[in-house]
Structure 1
Amino acid sequence: MTPVAIHTVCETLAYAVGFRTFLWTRQRLAPGAFKHKDEVAWIAVSAIVGAALGAKLSYWLDDPLTAFANFPDLRNLLLGKSIIGALLGGLLGVELCKKIAGIQQSTGDAFVLPLTVGMCIGRVGCYLAGLQDHTYGNATSLPWGVDFGDGIARHPTQIYEILFLLAQYAWIHLRRHELAPGDRFRAFMIGYLLFRLLVEFIKPLFYAYPGHMSGLQWLCIAGLLYYHRDLPRIAQILFKGNRSAWEPR
């Protein structure tokens, strides 16, 4: 099986398992996220559309030289995508949908476990796809460096991400009773954006923006700024377990 086929299989599996997990978690772990069944459909469609657009736009931002090579030939524009853009695009899509539909309650908590599971499965596909996926790290002399096919031992950043996602979910789940509705998703997003902001420093830089940072890193910063008011409160709850640090919202 070719690397592209392996990645496609894992990506399809990630969507399927993530969706099934969502159906389970919205009833068991986040029963108050949706008041009516039609809200599930509207939120899901908004998240999917926003994620698809965000994933594509973030790829264009991160690696414009590749994306717009041979323009107006559109084939390169349709190739890549990024989970950072998908998360931020999905977030914007859901928030816009909720505003239009007048949905007041927080819905993000229902997505934390599905996103964690789906992203972990997807990163397995990225790891197995090797160099063609462009998610590998820079060269390293560390004993766990992986040769993805070019004879160079590299940081297995896909594995780093899987381990981080699992550890993050375990920690958020452990503190779930101390978090206000919606805070589990906020904690997930803040943690992941911080992780990606840092791990991108040990990955190839395809196009340098100000600060010698990638487009994805600047997207991470934009996402963290979106959550800047929630960050101190959630950090205090997660690391100090202080229920008085938040008020129900």
Structure 2
Amino acid sequence: MLLHLIFDVLAWLTSLATILILRRTWFPVSPVSEKLRFGYLGAVLFGAATGAWLFGTLNLWVSGIHEFGRSIEGALAGAILSIELYKRSYGISARTGAIYALPVALGIAVGRIGCLLSGLEDNTYGIPTGANWGWDFGDGINRHPVALYESVAMFAFALIYAHRIRQGSDYWRQNGFYLLVCFYGFERFLLEFLKPYGALMAGLGVFQYLSILLLAYGVAMIASNPWKQSRSAESIGR
């Protein structure tokens, strides 16, 4: 679990460093007024922490594991909900999340490596597999390295996103965060079939239902923000 903690810290540091770089390069203008930024940050952290522990623990209990757990997907969903409520409360109409697409993708990619190296203790291993790339987490059974699958997927998204932004794509600038949410929800929904978690309802697990909600959110936000190439890049946000 020490390895997991180390990579959790590295994931947060990676995300923070990426945000600082992007604020000085691709996204120099913040759509949140200075007097509301502290509260905005507090909403992000509160929502992420609450969602991580709530959904992580719920999934373990549904699976018959009566322990406390944490979830990256739960953290993402909690942060989104908390921010949307905060924005509504303070009348913030601007989209504010464009800058977070790359930091979140890289943070998940780094954090999942910690899950992979933590073995069975982390409860993020996959179901048994006969594939040559199966991973022995310490119990002598080759399993799907689902954390590695997710890490590779998110690194791939980060590369594609960075490439499209460098090419000057206004569409990716405007909708990058929602594209990330859609991509993550989709790949996470599929990967849950390779994990030994219990079903919540109709054969689907907690995270699969959460993935459906994230997909719906991402699609709805993209649909409500049609691509207009004439928009100023500085006004783009979540």
In structure 2, how many angstroms separate the alpha carbons of the residues matched to 1:183 and 1:221? 18
Counterpart among 187, 203, 219 of residue 212 in structure 1: 203
1:1-249 counterparts in 2 under 5 A? Answer: 4-65=1-62, 69=66, 76=67, 79-176=68-165, 177-179=169-171, 182-205=174-197, 207-230=198-221, 246-247=227-228
Q: 1:24 to 1:37 in 2, by over 3 A?
A: farther
In structure 1, how many angstroms separate the alpha carbons of the residues matched to 2:132 and 2:70? 30
TM-score after normalising by structure 1: 0.82
Q: Structure 2, unaligned stretches of length 5 or more?
A: none
TM-score after normalising by structure 2: 0.85
Q: Please state how far the C-alpha of 1:120 moved relative to its aligned partner.
A: 1.8
Post-superposition CA distance 1:116-140 (Å, at most 9, x none): 2221221111111011111111111
Match of 2:75, as an amino acid?
A: A
Q: Please state how far the C-alpha of 1:180 moved relative to its aligned partner.
A: 6.2
* Corresponding position of 1:241: none
What is the SS of the residue equivalent to 2:118? helix
- Bigger CA drift: 196-205 or 118-127? 118-127
Matched residue count: 227
What is the SS of the residue equivalent to 2:29? coil
- Preserved CA contact (<8 Å) 1:233 1:246: no
Match of 1:6, as an amino acid?
A: L
- Preserved CA contact (<8 Å) 2:161 2:172: no
Post-superposition CA distance 1:71-128 (Å, at most 9, x none): xxxxx3xx31111111011001111122222222221111112212221221111111
- Preserved CA contact (<8 Å) 2:15 2:104: yes
Q: Structure 1, unaligned stretches of length 5 or more?
A: 70-75, 235-244
